[in-house]
Amino acid sequence: MFAKVILLVVASQACLVSSDTPGIRQTAAGIFQIAPMAAAVFTHKCENNNFGAGCTECQKGSVCLGTENAADVDCTLTPATPYCNKDQCSAVPLEGCEANAPVGTFICTAEGSFPDPKQCGNYHYCEKANAAADLYSCPSGNVYNAVTGLCKKNSSAADCVVIKCPSASGYGSYGTNKTLYAYCRYAGTPAVLTQTIVFKCAPNSAFDGSTCVYQCSKEGKFENTVNMSTYYECSISGGKWVATLTNCPTNKKFDPTKQVCVTPN
């Protein structure tokens, strides 16, 4: 069954610092090359009043509800898990779906600017999730500034930040930044790093080493600005804040004013 997920959204950028400068857009010629590989095969269908969840496309699935209309699931609405794999939304594409992302290029998980995983003097701009990214290079002596989304002067070694991947497939960190992280994917024996997919946590969320956790400051229900068909419930348990991501009923969206899920007009 499609699990509840912590969603991602483009982090709000701070006001520009006067010393920050935009990078230089690089030519895309020869960069975007689609991988030659077999297409994924999908067999999940909602028919004969059956039940269960499954993938119907590389980034979409459905939940069969017997005699009720099937519930469609669009994984691209959850940038942290934009692919459908093993009957649920996942950060890892199903084998044969990797062609959705150009080989050797940056994979857009949301709109906005993102640091290059390996080169601190480069960054990428995405118009939307799954779009082809534009590569920008900072001027000489500058590095990417995740706060402003532009370039700043490289004043010390600590200013040059790249993604630090684990030794096996899993999540990597971006320095001390808690709003950016990456899924690092390895393949082969010995293991070789094949993909580093960078994500941003939603506003008021922070990466805890494995997922983005909503930072509660008071009890109540709060909107999820990326996917309004879900909302956060904040409560105190054991003296600590607990944030639970809750799904609205099918075809309904959360209304922060009414504090309930309603049918959109």
* pLDDT recorded at residue 135: 92
pLDDT at 186: 87
- DSSP letters, the chain, are -PPP-----PPPPPPPPTT-B--EEPP-TTT-B----PPP-------TT-EEEEEEETTEEEEEETTEEEEEEEGGGSTTS-EEETTEEESSPPTT-GGGS-BTSPBP-SSEEEE-SS-TTEEEEESSTTSBPEEEEPPTTEEEETTTTEEEE--SGGG---EE--SSSEEEEETTEEEEEEEEEEETTTTEEEEEEEEEPPTTEEE-SSSEEE--SSSEEEE-SS-TTEEEEEEEETTEEEEEEEEPSTT-EEETTTTEEE---
Q: Which residues have C-beta within 8 Å of that of residue 82, sequence separation ≥ 6? A: 59, 75, 76, 89, 91, 109, 129, 130
Radius of gyration of the chain (CA): 20
Model confidence over 129-152: pLDDT tens digits? 888 899 999 999 999 999 999 999
Is 68 within 8 Å of 26 (Cβ atoms)?
Answer: no
For the stretch 160-200, pLDDT in tens is: 999 999 999 999 999 999 999 999 988 878 888 888 999 99
Q: Phi/psi zone of residue 72: left (φ > 0), alpha (ψ -120 to 50 degrees), beta?
A: beta
pLDDT of residue 122: 93
Please tell me the distance from the alpha carbon of residue 86 to that of residue 94, in angstroms, as a whole number: 8
Rounded Cα gap, residues 156 and 101, in angstroms: 34
pLDDT truncated to tens, each residue of the chain (265 aa)? 454 333 332 333 333 444 788 888 875 433 333 333 356 778 898 888 889 899 998 888 999 988 888 888 888 777 567 778 888 888 777 777 754 544 457 888 888 999 999 999 999 999 988 888 999 999 999 999 999 999 999 999 999 999 999 999 999 999 999 999 999 988 878 888 888 999 998 888 899 888 888 899 999 999 887 678 889 999 999 999 999 989 999 899 999 999 999 998 8
pLDDT for the residue numbered 104? 53
Can you give the pLDDT at residue 12? 35
Predicted confidence at residue 152, as pLDDT, reads 95
